[in-house]
Amino acid sequence: MAHKTISLDIEAYETLRSLRLTATESFSHVVKRIGRQHAGERGSGAQLVERLFASGAERWLPSEAELDRLDEIQRHPRPRRDRRAGA
């Protein structure tokens, strides 16, 4: 089987190491196992939002007023300034 070399920062390495079920479980097996456990978590944007709310992430989502302001900006964008002109 072919192999690929990847680089991890120390925190990622320690996290991966802590997820091993046994001291002899390879990192490849850990990645595959975790990947299989989370394979079904992809889905629609609505499912993602449901998971965010279930995990308490709603505090990080924009308020209705902020969303309204973003909608307004998209409806009426300011003209782009050519930064090269006059420079």
Neighbours of 25 (CB within 10 A): 13
Decide if 2 is inside a domain. no
CB-hemisphere CA count at 13 Å for 16? 17
Over the stretch 57-73, which tens digit does the pLDDT of each residue have? 666 667 788 888 888 88
Token pair recorded at residue 85? 């002109």
Residue 87 has pLDDT above 70, yes or no: no
Domain that holds residue 52: 10-75
Over the stretch 26-57, which tens digit does the pLDDT of each residue have? 999 988 888 777 666 666 666 667 777 777 76
pTM for this structure? 0.44
Q: Are 76 and 68 in contact (CB under 8 A)?
A: no
Decide if 3 is inside a domain. no
- Burial 26-52, CB ≥16 within 10 A → b, else e: eeeebeeeeeeeeeeeeeeeeeeeeee
CA 10 to chain centre: 20
Decide if 59 is inside a domain. yes
Q: What was the pLDDT predicted at 80?
A: 76
Q: What was the pLDDT predicted at 24?
A: 92
